[in-house]
Amino acid sequence: MSVYVIGHKSPDTDSVTSAIAFAAFQKGQGVDAVPAMQGELNPETKLVLDRFGFAAPEIITDAAGKQLMLVDFSDIAQAPANMNSAEVLAVVDHHKIGDVTTNSPIFFYAKPVGCTGTVLHEIYKSNNVAIDKKVAGIMTAAILSDTVNFKSPTCTPADKAAVKDLAAIAGIADTDGLFMDMLKAKSAIDGLPINDLLNRDYKDFDMNGKKVGIGQLELATLDQAAGVRADLVKAIEELRASGRHTVLFMLTDVVKEGTELLVASEDPSLIEKAFNAKLTDGAMWVPGMMSRKKQTVPPMQKAFGC
Ligand code: MG
Ligand code: MG
Ligand code: MG
C-alpha cells in the first residue's frame, strides 16, 4: 500500500514542496511514498513546480483507510476527511502541535523555524542523505515563500543557512530574483474569482469555542487589490454570517511590510483590542504585520481568552 505524504488544506508552496521532498526522502529509505495535496496548486506553487520540473502531486481529500505522513500541519481541521480511519505514520512540521493523535509511536519532527522545508533540510543532513538538485530547488522556494524572503518574524538563522546550502545544490544564483518571480505570480489577482482569492490562503481556527477564519493575500503592493477590495469585504461578511464569530482577511503589503486587516465580526471592538488599533470602515492598517501564525493568531487567541 502506498503511503501518502500530504500537506494542509488550501495548499501553499511549503505544504506541496515538502510533500514532494519528504516523499523523495522516504523513497530513498525504501518506503513506497507518494506526494499528495488537498487542492489545486496556487499560482506561486505552480510557478515553482514548473520552474524546477515537477508535475502537480495527486489530489487527496479523503483519508479513509489510507496511510499518511503529514507535512506542514498536525491539525485535524487542516487534514483530509475521515482521519479517524486513517493511519498517521509521520509528522514533519514547524507549527504548534495540533490535535492529530495516533495509536502507535511515530516519527514526529517539528521545530520552531520558518518553514517545513528547513526542517526537512535538517532531516536530510542528519541522515547523510544527498538532496536531489531539483528537490533542493523547490525546498529553496518554499523557505523563501514561508519566510517572505527572510523578512517574516518567523524566519530564523536556520532558514537562512538552509537556503544558502539548498540554493548552492540547486544552482540558484539569485534567490531574490526567484522570490520576486514567485511574489509576482502569487500576487497577480486580476480577473480571478473572489472566492479563489478568499480561499488562496485561508484557515479556520477554534478560539475558545468560537469559529474564527483568517485569510491572507500577500501583495507586492496594496494597489493590486484596489479593484476587488469592496467585493472581498462583502465576501468575508458572507463567510462570517455562515457560522463564524469573526473572519479576518489580511491584505499584506510585502514591500511596505504591513497588513491592511479587513474585519467581519460579531464583536469588532474585540478585534480593535486585539491589535490595539481602530477600525475605519471595517479595516485597519497594522504596521509590521506579515505572519498570520506569529502576529495575527496569537493576539486573537489572547482576545478570545484561549
Ligand atoms: Mg503552510
Ligand atoms: Mg509552512
Ligand atoms: Mg503560509
In this prediction, residue 188 has a pLDDT band, given cuts at 50, 70 and 90, of confident
Q: What is the DSSP string of the chain?
A: --EEEE--SS--HHHHHHHHHHHHHHHHTT--EEEEESSPPPHHHHHHHHHHT-PPPEE--B-TT-EEEEES---GGGSPB-GGGSEEEEEEESS---S---SS--EEEE-SSS-HHHHHHHHHHHTTPPPPHHHHHHHHHHHHHHTTTTTSTT--HHHHHHHHHHHHHHT-S-HHHHHHHHHHHHH--TT--HHHHHHTTEEEEEETTEEEEEEEEEESSGGGGTTTHHHHHHHHHHHHHTT-SEEEEEEEETTTTEEEEEEEES-HHHHHHHHT---BTTEEEEET---IIIIIHHHHHHHTT-
Rounded mean pLDDT, 180-187:
87
pTM: predicted TM-score of the whole model, two decimal places: 0.76
pLDDT exceeds cutoff 90 at 186: no
Nearest ligand to residue 201 Cα: 3
Report the separation in Å between the CA atom of 73 and the middle of ligand 2, taken as the mean of its atom positions. 8
Nearest Cα neighbor of 18 from 64, 54, 65 is 54
pLDDT in tens, 40-82: 999 999 999 999 999 999 999 999 999 999 999 999 999 999 9
Distance of CA 201 from the midpoint of ligand 3 (Å) = 7
> Any idea which of 9-23, 184-198, 239-253 has the lowest mean pLDDT?
184-198
CA of 1 to the centre of ligand 3 (A): 31
Nearest CA-CA partner of 170 in 116, 141, 118, 134: 134
Classify the phi-psi angles of 239: left when phi > 0, otherwise alpha if psi is within -120 to 50, otherwise beta: alpha
Residue with cell 518571480: 181
Look at residue 121 in the predicted model and tell me its pLDDT: 98
Residues with C-beta atoms within 5 A of ion ligand 1: 12, 14-15, 72
Give 36's Cβ-side CA count (13 Å radius).
23
Rounded-to-integer distance, Cα 222 and Cα 218, Å:
9
Q: What is the pLDDT of residue 277?
A: 95
If DSSP states are collapsed to H, E and C, what string results for 12-62?
Answer: CHHHHHHHHHHHHHHHHCCCCEEEEECCCCCHHHHHHHHHHCCCCCEECCE
- The ligand whose atoms approach the alpha carbon of 10 most closely is 1
Distance from Cα 304 to the centre of ligand 2, integer Å: 25
State in Å: Cα 245 to ligand 1 middle: 24
Which listed ligand is nearest to 119 at the C-alpha?
A: 2
pLDDT above 90: residue 256: no
Closest CA to 185 of 7, 12, 3: 12
Longest CA–CA span in the chain (Å) reads: 57
Distance 147 CA to ligand 2 centre (A): 9
Residue 139: which pLDDT band, with cuts at 50, 70 and 90?
Answer: very high
Share the mean pLDDT of the chain.
96
**Domains of the chain, each with CATH number or no CATH:** 3-184 (3.90.1640.10), 194-303 (3.10.310.20)
Q: Which residues pair with 87 in a beta bridge?
A: 67
**Is a pLDDT exceeding 90 seen at residue 224?**
no
